[in-house]
Structures are given as C-alpha cells and as structure tokens.
Amino acid sequence: MSKTDTAASGIPKEIERFNIIFRIQHVLMFTTFLILSFTGWGLKYAHDPEGLSSIWIRVWGGPDTAGLIHRIAGVTMLLDFIWHVIYLIYLFATKQMTINTKTTVIPLPKDIFDVIKNFMYFFGLSKEKAKFGKYSYAQKFDYWAVFWGMFIIGSSGYALAFPMQVSYLIPEFTTGWIWELLGLMHSDEALLAIVFILFWHFYNEHLKPEVFPMSWIWITGKISTENLKHHHPLEYELLFPEEAKKEKKG
C-alpha cells in the first residue's frame, strides 16, 4: 500500500477539505479572537496582578484605544460569524452541501461512543482508537464551541458595546439583573473560550506530534489522501469506495 499504488489507481494525491471562503472565515475568526483576548484580558484582570494590566493595556494604546480595538474586533467577528451562517444556508439551498453522517459536523451519538472508545484506548482497555468521518469529535467540539461562544459572548458583548440600542429590546422585568448577568456571561465565558483554545485547539492542531508545528490545512485547504485515510478513514471509504475495498482485501 505505497503511494505509487494509490497514484496508479487514479486517486488524487490530495483533496480539498476547506474552500477559500471557509479559510478566510477561519483567518478572520482567529485574528479577531486573538485581538479580543489580548485587549479583553487587560480589562477582566484590571486589578490583579497590581499594575501589570495597566502596562499591558498601554501596549494596546491605553484603555480608550484598547476599548475601541476590542469593539471593532468584536463587530468584525460577529459579521464573520453571520457570513459563515449565511454561506452555509446558501450551500444547503443550492445543494452544494448535503447532510451525510460520515461528513457532517453535526454531533451524532457515534461521537459519544468515539469519546468512550478513545478514553478506553488511552487507558489501555481498547486496542483500537476510534475511527472518524470528515470531522472527529474533537473537531466537532472545536466547531460548535464557536457557536456557543457567539451565542453567549457575542450576544452579551454586543449588548455591552451598544447598551443604548439593546436597552430598547430587553424586556422591562429583566432590567434589574440583565446587565450584571451580561457582564458575567461575557467575562466568564471569554475565559472559558481562551482556555479552550489554548488547550484543546492548540494541542489538537498545533502541538500534537503528528501535526506539529501546525496543521497546514488552514492555509492550503488541502489534505493528502494518505492523511485522509489515516485520520478520517470513514470519509476516505465514502470518497473512494473502490480503493478502500481493494485495500481491505489486500
């Protein structure tokens, strides 16, 4: 099962995993995410460690400017997210994207079993790791975390950045506690998002020995067929059923 075999049988060397639009959306997402994290951190931990945040915020042009940068980045991120959702709707409407259990990013019961299977493998209770389709549970988790973040941090952030406009929308009975809650939501979940990215995303897409220093798919959008077979065997079987069958027999 060498590369020459597969090349000879007419399988492309690599396939496109993310098109240019998805890649741009990802770049916009992570640049704004980093800017928001850096500027927001200074405000969240304004008092401790004493004096350090003042210096950190000065790096971002002082609190007035840092606040403006944070708002611009926040709005950009929200627009990026809206663009993504609209683009998905467009892809579905034009049938360029359809739901298939082996390629969908939607969480399925299989993902839970995959987690259990992998944990068993980690503990040495199973000989095999879980086999994934186009998206592993780790990648699905990564993807939907953004939706959760947009729902909690994005909405509260929008309300905090434009309180006057939002105040007309909120119902009367919530005014006693909603602002406090919005502040807590924004700050607590932002910390969750930062730690999540730092541990989950950075480990899975950067630090893991097999991808270090990073998975290049975010730039090229391409995944080698070899890699696909190894990391996404179910998708490979779906895309190249003939080859997969041959390989299994062989």
Nearer to other proteins, 67 or 221 (CB): 67
Nearer to other proteins, 95 or 210 (CB): 210
Nearer to other proteins, 42 or 221 (CB): 42
Handedness of CA 46, 48, 49, 51 (dihedral sign): positive
Q: Helices marked H in 45-122 — which ranges?
A: 52-59, 62-93, 109-122
Shortest gap between Cβ of 66 and other proteins (angstroms)? Answer: 8
Q: What's the CA gap between 42 and 58, in Å, rounded?
A: 10
Nearer to other proteins, 96 or 180 (CB): 180
Shortest gap between Cβ of 8 and other proteins (angstroms)? Answer: 20
| Contacts (Cβ under 8 Å, ≥6 apart) of 150 | 78, 81
Nearer to other proteins, 208 or 245 (CB): 208
- Can you read off the two tokens belonging to residue 184? 């807590």
Instruction: Reduce the DSSP state of residue 34 to 3 states and report it.
Output: helix
Shortest gap between Cβ of 167 and other proteins (angstroms)? Answer: 4
Shortest gap between Cβ of 209 and other proteins (angstroms)? Answer: 6
Give me the residues that bind other proteins (CB under 8 A), please: 42-43, 46-47, 53-54, 57-58, 62-64, 67, 118-119, 121-124, 138, 160, 163-164, 167-168, 170, 172, 175-177, 179-181, 183-185, 188-189, 191-192, 195-196, 199-200, 203-204, 208-209
DSSP 172-194: GGGTTTHHHHHHHHHHHHHHHHH
Q: For residue 13, what is the DSSP state?
A: S
Shortest gap between Cβ of 180 and other proteins (angstroms)? Answer: 4
Q: What's the CA gap between 163 and 175, in Å, rounded?
A: 12
Shortest gap between Cβ of 122 and other proteins (angstroms)? Answer: 4
Q: What's the CA gap between 177 and 165, in Å, rounded?
A: 18
Nearer to other proteins, 76 or 204 (CB): 204
Question: Rg of the chain's alpha carbons, rounded to an integer?
Answer: 22
